[in-house]
Amino acid sequence: MDTAQQSEHTIRAFKGKSFLPALTVYDYPMTRLLDELGIPMLLVGDSLGMVVLGYPDTTHVTMEEMLHHVRAAARAKPRGFLVADMPFHSYENPDQALTHATQLKEAGAKGVKLEGGQEVAPQIQAILQSGIPCVGHLGMLPQRVVEEGGYRIKGRSEQEKASLLENAELLTKLGVCALVLELVQSDLAREITHRVSIPTIGIGSGDDCDGQILVTQDLIGGFPWFRPKFVTPVMESASLLQKSVDAWRSEQSERYRKAFSPSPIVAHHRT
Ligand code: KIV
């Protein structure tokens, strides 16, 4: 078994045993810190586009940008399952998907994640056949946000519910090792979790998935200009940074003022 297969195996083994925590990483220090903590799945997500690169959504992220950040994360040599998102338009057909998944693997990812169900089944099959582990992603698909005109909960209508259940079962059968469920109505997310034999990893899909994934910046309050409603940050790192830098600036200004303020003029009298 190579290291990618071992990681995949470890992720599958969470099913029905223990909670699977997963977080996004985009660079060396964050990957090293979270891996040292033992987070078993680290995703170089294309949320990179918003929280690091300043794009309005994930559709602008390119393959070059993903490769650059996957290489940085991989330099931390994480023991956990380092997964890379396949960016928008990088998996339009099986050949293209395989070429790009291979590049992400060569950059250091142990697995890749693709958005969608039966419409990307041939791409997933091609990648899996080459030995690269895949993670599925169903529900709200951020790469379709422009097309759909916003982020909304999926699985409220009977038709959406049936299609999500069908796709979850199909992806499991194809051989993905875990399934991200994004903004899936919580009862449905629970039902999918009971039906499939692989771990489901929820994001904004209620509490009853096998694991949870978050954009790390959301969890640590590092991107204060946008906060998803379903996240309660564990710290306020953006305001902590601003306050600490402000204190440093005041201290240094005070030191400068004392060192360089003109000395009082001493009057000299001639005798
Ligand atoms: O891009 C991303 O960060 C994701 C999420 C599931 C967190 O796909």
Q: Please report the pLDDT score of residue 2 as a whole number.
A: 87
Would residue 90 count as lying in a domain?
A: yes
Residues with catalytic function = 182
What lies within 8 Å, CB to CB, of 74 at 6+ separation is 31, 82, 107, 108, 109
Q: Please report the pLDDT score of residue 271 as a whole number.
A: 61
Give, in degrees to the nearest 5, the angle at Cα 207 between 171 and 168. Answer: 10
Give the span between the Cα atoms of 118 and 135, in whole angstroms. 14
Would residue 198 count as lying in a domain?
A: yes
Would residue 195 count as lying in a domain?
A: yes
What lies within 8 Å, CB to CB, of 103 at 6+ separation is 63, 67
Residues in the chain with pLDDT values less than 50: none
Domain of 85? Answer: 8-235
Would residue 186 count as lying in a domain?
A: yes
Would residue 253 count as lying in a domain?
A: no
Give me ligand 1 centre to Cα 183, in Å.
12
CATH number at residue 210: 3.20.20.60
Q: Please report the pLDDT score of residue 133 as a whole number.
A: 98
Give me ligand 1 centre to Cα 202, in Å.
10
Would residue 188 count as lying in a domain?
A: yes
Which helix (H) or strand (E) segment holds residue 23: the answer is strand 20-24
Task: Using DSSP, state whether 96 is helix, strand or coil.
Answer: helix
Would residue 103 count as lying in a domain?
A: yes
Total residues found in the chain within this entry: 271
Asked whether 126 lines ligand 1 (CB < 6 A), one says no
- Full DSSP string of 54-94: --SSGGG--HHHHHHHHHHHHTT--SSEEEEEPPTTS-SSH
Count the domains in the chain.
1
**Chain centre to alpha carbon of residue 12:** 19
Burial 166-200 (b: 16+ CB within 10 A, else e): ebbebbbebbbbbbbbbbbbbebbbbbbeebebbb
pTM: 0.94
Q: Please report the pLDDT score of residue 25 as a whole number.
A: 98
Choose one of 215, 217, 231 to mutate for the ligand 1 pocket test, by most ligand atoms within 8 angstroms of C-beta: 215
Would residue 241 count as lying in a domain?
A: no
β-pair partners for 44? 84
Q: Please report the pLDDT score of residue 218 as a whole number.
A: 98
